[in-house]
Amino acid sequence: MPRRIKNRREVIIPIGPSIAYIPLNQGYFALIDSMDARRSNVYQWNARKSKNYIRVLRSTRCRATGENWSITLADELLGKIKGMVIDHINGNTFDNRRCNLRHATQSQNMQNRKPQKNKSGHVGVYETKEGNWRVDIQGKYIGTRKTFEDAVFFRLEKEKELFGQFAPAARK
């Protein structure tokens, strides 16, 4: 008895002249540019949770070897370059519009990650026993400031200096 193959294509819904979205599993959806809609509609895209984030990807299988692998929507749209990853500029992995994607090294991509919470409320700024404010970037001591506001400003300026366009978008 022949196996019945059901059509698994998702419907892409335009939400403006230049943006569309792809419904995913678990109630999620991904934003894409309208010009990429036809190309993306060929596959079934899924949201899959990793340790700290959710990725938008599709699974595929090599007919010759039977090997399975996954391709992210961002890689499908921009193309994969050896030694590079795709960085979502605003940190939202569901936003796959071309204006939000760029090729980056793994190190550059890690510089653009979301800030972690600490007692001061600002990543890399800590109060010392003397009442001053210590500033660290990536675990390295940068300096000390008398006030919290000066320490935060100092850290933001150093991030821009050190990371350039890859300084965390949430803190620019």
pLDDT tens digits along 72-117: 899 999 999 999 999 998 888 899 999 999 999 988 887 777 666 6
Please report whether residue 150 resides in a domain: yes
Q: Please report the pLDDT score of residue 13 as a whole number.
A: 67
Are 62 and 92 within one domain?
yes
* CA 140/CA 120 separation, integer angstroms: 17
Domain count, the chain: 2
Are 25 and 104 within one domain?
yes
Are 20 and 104 within one domain?
yes
Are 34 and 90 within one domain?
yes
Please report whether residue 70 resides in a domain: yes
* CA 157/CA 141 separation, integer angstroms: 15
Are 47 and 102 within one domain?
yes
Are 105 and 130 within one domain?
no
Name the 3-class secondary structure at 15: coil
Please report whether residue 8 resides in a domain: no
User: In 1-147, where does DSSP find H-type helix?
Assistant: 37-40, 73-78, 106-111
Are 81 and 150 within one domain?
no
Among 60, 87, 111, the domain-final residue is 111
Name the 3-class secondary structure at 35: helix
Are 29 and 67 within one domain?
yes
The domain that holds 60 is classified in CATH as 3.90.75
Per-residue model confidence as pLDDT tens digits over 110-162? 777 766 667 787 888 889 999 999 999 888 899 999 999 999 899 989 988 88
Q: What is the DSSP letter of 152?
A: H
CA–centroid distance for 2 within its chain: 42
Residue owning tokens 């400031």: 145
Are 99 and 131 within one domain?
no
For residue 27, give both structure tokens: 């109630």
Range of the domain at 141: 125-171
Q: Please report the pLDDT score of residue 124 as a whole number.
A: 85
State the DSSP H helix or E strand holding residue 147, giving kind and residue range, or none if neither.
Answer: none
- Expressed in angstroms, the distance from the first to the final Cα of the chain is 61
Residue ranges of E strands in the chain: 13-14, 19-23, 29-33, 46-49, 54-61, 68-72, 85-88, 101-104, 125-127, 133-137, 140-145
Please report whether residue 60 resides in a domain: yes
Please report whether residue 95 resides in a domain: yes
